[in-house]
A and B are shown apart, each in its own frame.
Chain A
Amino acid sequence: MQICNAVDSSFDLAPVAGIVATHTPFSEGDIIGALQDIQERYGYLAQPVVDELARLSGLPVAKFYGVATFYSQFHLKPHGKHTIRVCRGTACHVRGSPKIMDSVVRHLGIEDGGTTPDMQFSLETVACLGTCFLSPVMLVDSKYFGNLTPDQAVKVLESMGSKSASNGTAPEEEMPACQA
């Protein structure tokens, strides 16, 4: 991994210094928090940004990538505008989350971890959202959609402007309960 000469002009690296400043004095214990701040600001961990973070913090860049590749929260590639998180917790599993996942995968035409080509939607699974009473549940950005059927899951995505990757259309059905 290169540290200094990988600067990409398309990234505004100025905010990195501000993020490092909030973790001063910067020690190894601040790596996860700083990467979370970077991802919050830039949407994902772009290489030039992480390299700049490492340079300003004075820690080896390998430490940052070691952490970034271990934890599932971090993305090294650009993320879609909306993040769909389908819960794969136990309660959701026994109440049909595999079917919800299938219908979302088919509808968006992407797999777990993928992003639609128009950069609108990224699809993830999450171990448990801790909202088992809503099972099966999916989190779209910060909105929970609970007690879902596969058709309702597709309806939710369509209401957000998703284009179906398959030709099948879902029958008319009421939108499920949702709230931010």
Chain B
Amino acid sequence: MPGLTPEIQKLRDLRLAEQQQQPLRAVRICTTGCRALGALEVHAAFERELAAAGLTRKVALIKTGCQGICAGAPVISIDPDGILYLGAKPADVPEIVRTTLCGGGIVERLCFQGRQGPIPKRSEIPFFAVQKPIVLARCGRIDPTSIAAAMAAGSYEMLERVLTEMEPEAVIAEIATSGLRGRGGAGFPTGRKWSATRAAPGDLKYLVCNADEGDPGAFMDRAVVEGDPHAVLEGLLIAAYAIGARHGYVYVRAEYPIAIEHLKLAIAQAREHGLLGENILGTGMAFDVKIKAGAGAFVCGEETALLASIEGKRGMPRPRPPFPAQSGLWGKPTCINNVETLANIAEILRMGGAAYSGLGTPTSKGTKIFALAGKVKYTGLVEVPIGVTMNQLVNDIGGGVPAGSAFKAAQMGGPSGGCVPARYLDMPIDYETVKEVGAIMGSGGLIILDEETCMVDLARYFMEFCAKESCGKCPPCRIGTTRMLEILNRICAGQGVPEDIARLEELGSQVKKNALCGLGQTAPNPVLTTIRHFRSEYEAHVNQRRCPAVVCRNLISFTILPDKCICCGRCAKGCPAHCISGKAGKAPARATAPDREKGKVGEPFAIQPALCIKCGACFDVCPAKAVVKQ
């Protein structure tokens, strides 16, 4: 080990100088995810108002990555007070500046609304209570486009320590002690993967960061790359040192433009500071990293398909063994780690592998980020110790399903995962327990479903996805998913036959056993778990031609209750099939004599069932709830 080099000393001085310059007061606005709901306009309004109030030099205005509680976008933090404002518009900004920044007061209507009233402090909001941010510690706090800000918050400290104090074997041992398992889905122990790649013969080794977050419903990797790209780079650098890789790739989805932009910037800044290149921080280590933008193929999340894609080929998987650790990119030993896995590395070294392994359950250590979405009140990103219960995630953190409905199931792990029904609410979430009920932890996408979700339709949706994304190389997946989709389409169309359910189970188990890669081997999971936990819904579709959740179009009908119809005519106006007729005017029950004389009385509207396309536009638009769906 080279010991402390002048370059490392220079970096430390820079960090120290930057830390001393950190302003006491700051307004932090998420401008990545929240950009879609006007965060940039709110930021511009703050710029104007802070200047007008003469606070520009006293209060730092920071554009950050995701702050977690996406349901309240745009999310604004005011520090050091720790106040969180949700859903502010540019018009609210003068009041925030006046009341909070100048007056020290609270704008209550912009606070998180708890059961007992507004909760201004972030630390007291139930959404954050169970959380343990390790990977997300800096995300939402720092400006992700500034390496100085990242360094002031501790970035690259662990790289410095590793390069000066630790042998590669010691780094691997520390990660092995931590019990960290791959966060991309399969949960393979990271330490073992690293030592296998290190042990593989050959001088040329590759390191790949898998940021091809393809699971619908998962957005944690996007948030980490957008909000703290240097955490990923530091993880890559430490991993490269540990396994002896000279070249690295980050494979990112093309659908994540902000992530690509922030990563490009971070790589350029790291290179400028001597953190990438031929002689990293004067220690003689050489490593460089390139970004590869994916081109829209879900299967490329599978590691061998991803490698084929980096090599410029069609993204098709190949049989393993040989595993990439022996023969990966261009036949060389290659280690592939997911974004969240890599973003854990520096923090594990900081707290020590043993301390990290104190979090979580006996077999699943540490924390996991979940993306809460679907029918849940507070959607967003949460990082919790592995082993918290579904109930804590859905109800304590997520605030439960919106009023008027009830929690039915959680879909975990995307198209490779399954549905965990309500009766498992007290189940601790870890790799093994989730597997026992037929789902997988996966990348951490957690879609909450309520009673309005048809489980058969959901299974059909996932099968359609897998059939479309199947690369076509192996017949069990190519043909099996298509046949399963045909059966599911038939059941949802009300043309199912009683044998269909058993056929799905048989086909599903065959596809699982015989498909070449992870896509095919897990594609039947959503179908098999919904049959296992919600068989009665399948039976209702097949035997009674009935969709209990009132979703499948061929099995439902819309009618207008004449007594409830207020004759407004909105349903007829919005009907794309022009199959609703009636006369707009005053509802007969409420019409007065003069109305009658003047011919202002309407006639209740009615739907012609034969022409109805069951789009539900009338149901959605009716202000009197006179349209019923059954």
User: Are A and B subunits of one complex?
Assistant: yes
B18 at the interface (CB under 8 A from A): no
Cβ B312 vs Cβ A28 within 8 A:
yes
B219 at the interface (CB under 8 A from A): yes
B375 at the interface (CB under 8 A from A): yes
Given contacts A144-B36, A170-B574, A171-B621, is CB(A67)–CB(B313) below 8 Å? yes
A25 at the interface (CB under 8 A from B): no
Q: Closest A residue to B215 by CB, please name it.
A: A128
Partner of A36, one of B256, B293, B373, B414: B293
Query: Shortest Cβ distance from B127 into chain A, in angstroms?
Result: 13
Cβ A168 vs Cβ B374 within 8 A:
no
Bound-state CA distance A92–B447 (Å) is 10
Cβ A89 vs Cβ B37 within 8 A:
no
Known: A89-B217, A91-B379, A167-B578. 7 other contacts (CB 8 A): A27-B312, A35-B295, A106-B576, A132-B219, A134-B37, A144-B35, A179-B40
Of the stretches B19-27, B99-107, B500-508, B612-620, the one at the interface is B612-620
Query: Shortest Cβ distance from A30 into chain B, in angstroms?
Result: 6
A129 at the interface (CB under 8 A from B): yes
Most buried by A among B213, B297, B575, B576: B576
Of the stretches A1-9, A46-54, A114-122, A146-154, the one at the interface is A146-154
Bound-state CA distance A71–B39 (Å) is 33
Count A-side interface residues using an 8 Å CB cutoff: 56
B38 at the interface (CB under 8 A from A): yes
Residues of the A chain whose Cβ atoms lie less than 8 Å from the Cβ of B578: 167-168
Q: Closest B residue to A146 by CB, please name it.
A: B36
Partner of B616, one of A99, A131, A166: A99
Bound-state CA distance A31–B576 (Å) is 45
Bound-state CA distance A146–B35 (Å) is 11
- One digit per residue, 1 when the CB lies within 8 angstroms of any chain B CB and 0 when it does not, for chain A 70-93 equals 111110000000000000111111
| 23 pairs, CB–CB < 8 Å, chain A vs chain B | A29-B310, A31-B312, A33-B293, A36-B293, A66-B314, A67-B313, A70-B471, A72-B297, A88-B216, A90-B411, A90-B447, A91-B216, A91-B217, A93-B216, A99-B616, A130-B218, A132-B373, A133-B71, A133-B73, A150-B620, A170-B574, A179-B40, A179-B41
A169 at the interface (CB under 8 A from B): yes
Cβ B213 vs Cβ A179 within 8 A:
no
Bound-state CA distance A131–B216 (Å) is 10
Bound-state CA distance A92–B520 (Å) is 23
Residues of the A chain whose Cβ atoms lie less than 8 Å from the Cβ of B471: 70
Q: Which positions in B face A, CB cutoff 8 Å? A: 33, 35-41, 70-71, 73, 213-219, 222, 253-257, 292-298, 309-315, 371, 373-375, 379-380, 411, 414, 445, 447, 449, 452-453, 458, 461-462, 465, 469, 471, 570, 573-576, 578, 615-617, 620-621
Given contacts A27-B312, A102-B615, A126-B255, is CB(A33)–CB(B37) below 8 Å? no
Bound-state CA distance A73–B256 (Å) is 13
Query: Shortest Cβ distance from B252 into chain A, in angstroms?
Result: 11
Partner of B33, one of A32, A126, A133, A178: A133
Cβ A74 vs Cβ B219 within 8 A:
no
- One digit per residue, 1 when the CB lies within 8 angstroms of any chain B CB and 0 when it does not, for chain A 23-65 equals 0000111111101100000000000000000000000000100
Cβ A130 vs Cβ B254 within 8 A:
no
Cβ A133 vs Cβ B574 within 8 A:
no
Partner of A130, one of B71, B255, B469, B620: B255
Bound-state CA distance A171–B41 (Å) is 28
Bound-state CA distance A89–B71 (Å) is 17
A94 at the interface (CB under 8 A from B): yes
Residues of the A chain whose Cβ atoms lie less than 8 Å from the Cβ of B41: 179
- One digit per residue, 1 when the CB lies within 8 angstroms of any chain B CB and 0 when it does not, for chain A 146-180 equals 10011100000000000000111111000001111
Query: Shortest Cβ distance from B322 into chain A, in angstroms?
Result: 20
Bound-state CA distance A34–B277 (Å) is 24
A-B contact count (CB 8 A): 167
Partner of A73, one of B219, B295, B469: B295
Given contacts A27-B312, A73-B295, is CB(A90)–CB(B216) below 8 Å? yes
Partner of B453, one of A27, A33, A94, A129: A94
Bound-state CA distance A129–B257 (Å) is 10
Query: Shortest Cβ distance from B65 into chain A, in angstroms?
Result: 13
Partner of A146, one of B37, B216, B296, B447: B37
Partner of B292, one of A32, A128, A166, A171: A32
Query: Shortest Cβ distance from B570 into chain A, in angstroms?
Result: 6
Query: Shortest Cβ distance from A122 into chain B, in angstroms?
Result: 14
Cβ B295 vs Cβ A32 within 8 A:
yes
Residues of the B chain whose Cβ atoms lie less than 8 Å from the Cβ of A32: 292-293, 295, 309, 312
Q: Closest B residue to A102 by CB, please name it.
A: B615
Bound-state CA distance A151–B621 (Å) is 9
A127 at the interface (CB under 8 A from B): yes
Bound-state CA distance A102–B574 (Å) is 13
Cβ B573 vs Cβ A91 within 8 A:
no
Residues of the A chain whose Cβ atoms lie less than 8 Å from the Cβ of B297: 70-72
Q: Closest A residue to B570 by CB, please name it.
A: A171
Bound-state CA distance A25–B349 (Å) is 39
Partner of A94, one of B311, B374, B414: B374
Most buried by B among A33, A128, A135, A178: A128
Cβ B314 vs Cβ A128 within 8 A:
no
A22 at the interface (CB under 8 A from B): no
Cβ B445 vs Cβ A90 within 8 A:
yes
Query: Shortest Cβ distance from A35 into chain B, in angstroms?
Result: 8
Q: Closest B residue to A39 by CB, please name it.
A: B295
Given contacts A150-B617, A171-B570, is CB(A133)–CB(B215) below 8 Å? no
Partner of A90, one of B298, B461, B574: B461
Cβ B314 vs Cβ A70 within 8 A:
yes
Bound-state CA distance A126–B414 (Å) is 15
Query: Shortest Cβ distance from B458 into chain A, in angstroms?
Result: 7
Bound-state CA distance A95–B450 (Å) is 10
Bound-state CA distance A88–B216 (Å) is 8
Query: Shortest Cβ distance from B36 into chain A, in angstroms?
Result: 4
Residues of the B chain whose Cβ atoms lie less than 8 Å from the Cβ of A66: 313-314
Residues of the A chain whose Cβ atoms lie less than 8 Å from the Cβ of B458: 90, 93-94
Query: Shortest Cβ distance from A167 into chain B, in angstroms?
Result: 7
Bound-state CA distance A63–B215 (Å) is 28
Bound-state CA distance A178–B73 (Å) is 12
Cβ B312 vs Cβ A177 within 8 A:
no
Residues of the B chain whose Cβ atoms lie less than 8 Å from the Cβ of A99: 615-617, 620
Most buried by B among A29, A90, A180: A90
Most buried by A among B379, B461, B615, B617: B617
Given contacts A91-B217, A134-B36, is CB(A70)–CB(B315) below 8 Å? yes
Cβ B295 vs Cβ A142 within 8 A:
no
Residues of the B chain whose Cβ atoms lie less than 8 Å from the Cβ of A169: 573
Residues of the A chain whose Cβ atoms lie less than 8 Å from the Cβ of B216: 88-93, 127-128
Residues of the A chain whose Cβ atoms lie less than 8 Å from the Cβ of B214: 127-128
Cβ B298 vs Cβ A127 within 8 A:
yes
Bound-state CA distance A151–B583 (Å) is 22
Residues of the A chain whose Cβ atoms lie less than 8 Å from the Cβ of B35: 144, 179-180
Cβ B447 vs Cβ A91 within 8 A:
yes
Most buried by B among A94, A130, A135, A150: A130
Most buried by B among A93, A134, A137: A93
Residues of the B chain whose Cβ atoms lie less than 8 Å from the Cβ of A177: 36-38
Bound-state CA distance A146–B70 (Å) is 12
